[in-house]
Structure 1
Amino acid sequence: MALFLPETLPTLQTVTGRFVLAPFTPLDVEPLARLLARDEIWSQGFSDSEARPAGEAELAAFVDRRFAGLQVFSVYRQLPQGQSRFVGTTGITDHDDLSERVKIGRTVIDPDLWGAKVNHEVKITLLDWLFSCGAGRVECDVDARNQRSLSSLVRFGFTAEGTRRRSSRNIDGLWRDFVILSLLTEEWPDVRPRALAALAGPSRADLLAV
């Protein structure tokens, strides 16, 4: 099956109905900038290749620069009375139709919801859609220092293929290593049921009420 990704992203609902993935729009820049103001996100090695933006204007400019031209979903938490709340982003940073390769990234989740399996649920939905579009290989690069993301992806079912050493230079002049992980379309039928089962397990679900 050949890879075909539409130019306009669809709107997707996650398996529990708790979240919706919708195309990122200019209206999402401000709420994303507010999330990126959180210290927790930068402590995981987020974008150390440039100085951390300070203040609303710099944060908004950072979002415009880093997300421009990419196919990114905004993630919304479904609330009562048809309301919703912005809780993060995820998306596609690169793809090659001939090799059926898709690279995912730009994943930012509200730190208040870390541990509530939000990213896990969102990833199931994103992968369902990508493999239905003909993706043969979904890959991501993770800063080698970000043990939270690395452990989460391996538990999910991704394979850590190796480390690309001295991959990019930090703002302080030091070099960063990135771990390369992948999941293949042939693996998804076995990985998906396990991912769904893990989603049903204990989590900080009480956080989702806020």
Structure 2
Amino acid sequence: MDWPLTLRTAMVDGDLTLRPYNPVRDAPALFEALHDPIVWQHIPGGAPASATALGTRLARRLTGGLRSTWVIDVAEHVAGTSSFIFDPTDDAGLEIGATYLSPPLWGTDVNRRTKDLMIDAAFACGANWVQLRTDERNARSAAAILKLGATELPARQDRWFRTDGTQRISRFFRLYPPDTTPRT
């Protein structure tokens, strides 16, 4: 598949909009929406201490051009973020990850609608598969991924360390375009 994805400037589903992340404008609003430590419980590096620290973290991840980060707006309020992540060593598909959502929206349809928009966009741009991952300890996230219809792959040790110092074990999942046989 070609990278970067050729996407319209925003993806919309009713009151939910995904728009490209703007480091100057979005870091303070994202910090406010995601300031609850529970958001960062399973995230290497833990909670950022300030909007500046969050902006620095997101900017560092955008370095190299292998990530496309999107802000999730609900009813015109910043609610979180998610990213397309490209691995040039396996260019048949991409990962959707680094999804952080304001806790009051957990258990609603916001994550599902966000992922549906992103998955549809990835397949429309030629992806043969979409991968998702979560920490082995994050059962809530794994359940949400499985509800998307994903197939679980073997878990494996990740390169990241948790805030408690243990090396993260990630559960991996894949989705394939509708009406296709899985391809690798």
What band does the TM-score fall into relative to the shorter chain? Answer: 0.7 to 0.9
Q: Is it true that 1:61 corresponds to 2:59 in the alignment?
A: no
- Aligned letter for 1:165? Q
Cα distance in 2 for partners of 1:114, 1:51 equals: 19
Cα distance in 2 for partners of 1:103, 1:164 equals: 16
Q: For the Cα contact (< 8 Å) 1:29–1:64, is it kept in 2? A: no
TM-score, normalised to structure 2, is: 0.83
User: C-alpha displacement at 1:52, in angstroms?
Assistant: 3.7
Distance of aligned partners of 1:101 and 1:85 in 2 relative to their CA distance in 1, 3 Å threshold: same
Once the two structures are superposed, the pairs formed by residues 185-196 of structure 1 within 5 Å of their partners are 185=177, 188-189=178-179
Q: For the Cα contact (< 8 Å) 2:72–2:82, is it kept in 1? A: yes
Cα distance in 1 for partners of 2:155, 2:7 equals: 31
**Matched residues, number:** 176
User: C-alpha displacement at 1:99, in angstroms?
Assistant: 4.0
Alignment deviations for residues 139-190 of structure 1 (CA, whole Å, 9 cap, x no partner): 12211011111011112101111110364333443221101111112xx359
Cα distance in 1 for partners of 2:158, 2:37 equals: 25
Q: For the Cα contact (< 8 Å) 1:167–1:178, is it kept in 2? A: no
Q: For the Cα contact (< 8 Å) 1:36–1:59, is it kept in 2? A: no
Once the two structures are superposed, the pairs formed by residues 92-111 of structure 1 within 5 Å of their partners are 92-96=84-88, 99-111=91-103
Alignment deviations for residues 17-39 of structure 1 (CA, whole Å, 9 cap, x no partner): 12111111121111112233212
Cα distance in 1 for partners of 2:133, 2:116 equals: 18
Range that drifts further, 30-39 or 174-183? 30-39
Alignment match, 1:116: 108
Alignment match, 1:154: 146
Cα distance in 2 for partners of 1:110, 1:175 equals: 26
155, 158, 166: which one pairs with 1:174?
Answer: 166
Cα distance in 1 for partners of 2:128, 2:100 equals: 24
Extract unaligned runs of 5+ from structure 2: none
The percent of aligned pairs where both chains have the same amino acid is: 27
Once the two structures are superposed, the pairs formed by residues 40-79 of structure 1 within 5 Å of their partners are 40-43=38-41, 45-47=42-44, 50=45, 52-68=47-63, 69=65, 70-78=67-75
TM-score, normalised to structure 1, is: 0.74
Q: Rg: which structure is higher?
A: 1
Alignment deviations for residues 38-62 of structure 1 (CA, whole Å, 9 cap, x no partner): 122023x122xx3543234333333
Q: Is it true that 1:134 corresponds to 2:131 in the alignment?
A: no
Q: CA RMSD in A?
A: 2.3
Q: For the Cα contact (< 8 Å) 1:162–1:180, is it kept in 2? A: yes
